[in-house]
Amino acid sequence: MSYICPICKNTLALNAWGNAYRCENNHSFDLAKDGYVNLLPVQKKHSKDPGDTKEMIGARHEFLASGFYDQMAENLVETIQSTILDSQGKRILDLGCGEGFYSRQLKVGISDSEQIELHGLDIAKDAIILASKKQKDSKFVVASSNDLPFPDHYFDLVYRVYAPSNDSELFRVIKPSGHLLIVTPGPRHLWQLKEMIYEEAREHNSEGIEPTGFKQVKSLQKSYTIKPDQELRMSLLQMTPFAWQTTEKVKKEIYDKDNFEIEVDFIFSLYQKLS
């Protein structure tokens, strides 16, 4: 596998000691003990710790480990499995992978998983540290979705779950006829939380915009209800942008509510690159 240098775009090669990637211009990036590489140079960072905060990453980790999104992860794995029917030597990227929940689910759930070269990328270093610690059979990199450190036409499939992307970078790194799977919130996602937080809750606009250079080949919606306990409701709040919009009073109401059932609603949009 080869990364490309985020500074000069030449190929990066692992050195003889296997502890750093270097390009022919001597730009060098250490391979951390946990197996991830940080390809986000300081000069390309817009803040000290870009991406999700440690608190959000911890909350998401705790919430996802509770199993409430397992059903959605199964739908994700099934969709990927049916898209890459022959899984011989396929390359997949989890874009904005966070703490790696869906990468782990994919490796466990997909058949012939040893044939899959799976990469996870996120701009938040703390998320990548956690993901790489938990999944040694995949490759994790700190980088921005606006500047992907991969060669042209590298991936058979890129997926992103609630994470940002850049159309021209997606077009560049996906093979001709390769696939892009985008998971976004459906109209009723976390509706009961929204009703408590906002004076006038609005449904998510779930209309997918076709990324330039791709055509939509499938769209499906999966909805169900969850009943997280009081602590997990707080984690759910903390891992979403609701965290900043919820007053202490409403947080307490959410915490105290009996038998609180919350709708989750996911839209899976599958696109194929036009070749």
Ligand X SMILES: C[S@@+](CC[C@H](N)C(=O)[O-])C[C@H]1O[C@@H](n2cnc3c(N)ncnc32)[C@H](O)[C@@H]1O
Q: Which residues of this protein are in contact with ligand X, per CB under 6 A?
A: 51-52, 60, 96-98, 101, 122-124, 127, 144-146, 161-164
Rounded-to-integer distance, Cα 134 and Cα 81, Å: 22
Q: Which is nearer to Zn ion, 7 or 14 (CB)?
A: 7
Q: How far is the CB of 24 from ligand X (least distance, A)?
A: 26
Rounded-to-integer distance, Cα 94 and Cα 120, Å: 5
Which of Zn ion, ligand X, none does residue 264 bind (CB under 5 to 8 Å by kind)?
none
Q: How far is the CB of 219 from ligand X (least distance, A)?
A: 19
Q: Which is nearer to ligand X, 73 or 115 (CB)?
A: 73
Q: Which is nearer to ligand X, 182 or 197 (CB)?
A: 182
- 25 lies in the binding site for Zn ion (CB under 5 A): yes
Q: How far is the CB of 21 from Zn ion (least distance, A)?
A: 10
- Are the C-beta atoms of 96 and 140 separated by less than 8 Å? no
Rounded-to-integer distance, Cα 141 and Cα 64, Å: 21
Q: Which is nearer to ligand X, 17 or 244 (CB)?
A: 244
Task: Please pick, from the candidates 22, 27, 133, 257, the single residue that binds Zn ion as defined by CB under 5 A.
Answer: 27
- Are the C-beta atoms of 185 and 106 separated by less than 8 Å? no
Q: How far is the CB of 98 from ligand X (least distance, A)?
A: 3
How much helix, strand and coil, in percent to the nearest 5, is found in the chain? 30, 25, 40
Pair of tokens at residue 113: 């998983």
Backbone φ and ψ for 270, nearest 5 degrees, come out as -105, 130
Q: Nearest to Zn ion by Cβ — which residue?
A: 5
Q: How far is the CB of 106 from ligand X (least distance, A)?
A: 12
- 23 lies in the binding site for Zn ion (CB under 5 A): yes
Q: Which is nearer to ligand X, 78 or 147 (CB)?
A: 147
Residues 6+ positions from 21 with CB-CB distance below 8 Å: 3, 12, 13, 14, 15, 28, 29, 31, 37, 39
| Location of structure tokens 């997606």 | 170
Task: Name the site residues for Zn ion (rule: CB under 5 A).
Answer: 5, 7-8, 23, 25, 27
